[in-house]
Structure 1
Amino acid sequence: MKKLLLAMLTLGASAGTASAQVEIGLKLSPSITYLRADSPSALNFQNEKSKLSLGGGLVVDYFFGQNYAFSTGLWLTGKGGTISYRDRDPASVSSDPSLTREQKIGLQYLEVPISVKLFTNDIATDTKLYFQLGGTAGGVIATRINGEKRYTDPSNGNAETESSKHVIIPDLSGLVGAGVEYQLGQSTKVFGGISYHRGLVNIDKYFDKDRGFQDVTLKNNEVALDFGLKF
């Protein structure tokens, strides 16, 4: 009995080792990003323009079945966009918002994806479809307001602030994606797809803390094309 149990455990361990496979690669992701803005109607925060960004980084797929993989890595990602809002006129004695202002916000994040990839069987020779579901956790490493590292606010006594102080550091996003993967050789694969990253966290810190605006929400959104090579 002991010999039978030992044989079964050895066989199970061998099968687990055989089925586990790690694929590592690099990806490049041009994207369109924008900010989902929300506020009370008097402030009228709106998304005005999207932003073209370029990101990429390391991709790691750990297969725990023939067609199932835990996918992670380390990505450098550009985000942001242009927003508009109603603000007070510094030339007026009234504190009511009467002017429309715009801010172009540029953000750069380091992100770690935490997701699952589901692969189909071959739909053509050495070609599979994949579907990705999960999220990303990241932190901002660079910020620009209107292209500058510092921002001067004309409606706040021309007070100057560091652009990095306008947003909180952490960010979380939901991630869904799909694409095609093609095997070039024994261990080399290329892939291409599209992914949507929906920000889950209010990243604003400036309007709430420095301007005293209530209930202002800014969240990242990104639609990316993903092109990569796995070794």
Structure 2
Amino acid sequence: MKQLLLLGVFCGIVTTSVAQGRFDVKQSVRLGFKIDPTITILNPQEAGVNRNSAKLGVSYGLMVDFLLDPEGRYAIASGLQISTAGSKLKYDAGKGLGNFRQQPAEYNMKLQHIEIPLSIKLKTVGGSDIAYWGQFGTYFGFPIRARADVVTMSQTFDRQHILKDINRINIGMLIGAGIEYPLGESLTGLVGISFQNGFIDVTRNSKWDDGRVNLNSFALKLGVYF
């Protein structure tokens, strides 16, 4: 309930800003590109499933800032990105997928999502070339690829296709902070950190019998606005 309340407050802020007439797409859009090294974690919430490791990944794509005031202090930050994620999960016997349930098994999960972030971004303005920013909001993720290397006590099964066993949407909380700095007359660099906390069960419980498994990620944000 607390998570849904936070999302409701965020959506209310966005709606109010647009309704007050501060949102002019034609005059107030910034475009950029980013590539973010990430650490992703599949976080089991139920006994019988344990995380053995996190996974290094990358998120890359377009950034779009819709400015809500002439100085650029407030913006709706969105975009379109592709993110790779995963973890190694150890399932006890009786849990996991299909024929692998007969004995304990480790799943090296490799997931890829298309994500659409949506957040309120606040930025300082003033005499300094460096501007500090922070953002809070949500994101929507849609899996486009999912594989797992499965190791049981007796055999190894590489590159098992598990896309049909993954939930078709992931939604969560997004927070981040960092700096922007000029790179010339028309380019602005961006450096920061961000955290995504997934609210939705990544694996379909009817297929895995594993309760809830959330996907969380930490990212070093590296981008350029044009």
Instruction: State whether TM-score is above 0.5.
Output: yes
Measured in 2, the distance between the counterparts of 1:32 and 1:174 equals: 16
Question: Per the alignment, in what secondary structure is the counterpart of residue 59 of structure 2?
Answer: strand
What TM-score does the superposition give when structure 2 sets the normalisation length?
Answer: 0.77
* Percent pairwise identity: 28
Preserved contact between residue 86 and residue 98 of structure 1 (Cα < 8 Å): no
Matching residue of 2:3? none
Aligned match of 1:142: 145
Specify whether residues 17 and 194 from structure 1 end up closer, same or farther in structure 2 by C-alpha distance, changes over 3 A only: closer
Deviation at 1:86, TM superposition (A): 1.1
Superposition pairs for residues 118-137 of structure 1, below 5 Å? Answer: 118-122=122-126, 125-137=128-140
1:71 aligns with 2:77: yes
Match of 1:167 in 2: 166
- Find the counterpart in structure 1 of residue 5 from structure 2: none
TM value normalised by structure 1: 0.75
- Structure 1's 27 and 18: CA in aligned 2 closer, same or farther, altered over 3 A? closer
Runs of 4+ in 1 over 6 A off after TM superposition: 151-155
Compared with structure 1, are the counterparts of its residues 227 and 175 closer, same or farther at alpha carbon in structure 2 (3 Å cutoff)? same
Deviation at 1:20, TM superposition (A): 4.8
Superposition deviation, residue 64 in structure 1: 0.5
- Shift of the 154–210 alpha-carbon distance from structure 1 to 2, 3 Å rule, reads farther
Q: Flag structure 1 segments of 5+ consecutive residues without an equivalent.
A: 1-11, 89-96
Residue 178 (1) aligns with residue 182 (2): no
Aligned equivalents of 2:93, 2:77: Cα separation in 1: 44
- Cα distance between partner residues in 1 of 2:197 and 2:105: 25
For structure 2, the 5+ residue unaligned runs are 1-19, 95-100
Matches within 5 A, 1:180-199: 180-199=179-198
Cα deviation per residue 1:96-132 (whole Å; 9 max; x = unaligned)? x99542111110000111111100134x731111001
Cα shift at 1:16: 7.2
Q: CA, structure 1 residues 109+98, in 2 after alignment: closer, same or farther (shift >3 Å)?
A: closer
Q: CA deviation at 1:166?
A: 2.2
Match of 1:50 in 2: 54
| Distance in 1 between residues matched to 2:147 and 2:25, nearest whole Å | 48
Residues paired across the two proteins, number: 196
Q: Give the alignment partner of residue 27 of structure 1, picking from 15, 24, 34.
A: 34
User: 1:98/1:144 Cα in 2 relative to 1: closer, same or farther (>3 Å)?
Assistant: closer
- The 3 A distance-change label for structure 1 pair 152 and 209 is farther
Give the Cα separation in 2 of the matches to 1:154 and 1:17: 60
Greater Rg by CA: 1
Counterpart in the other structure of 2:107? 103
Query: Using a 3 Å threshold, how does the CA distance of structure 1 residues 104 and 18 change in structure 2: closer, same or farther?
Result: closer
Whether 1:224 aligns to 2:223 is no
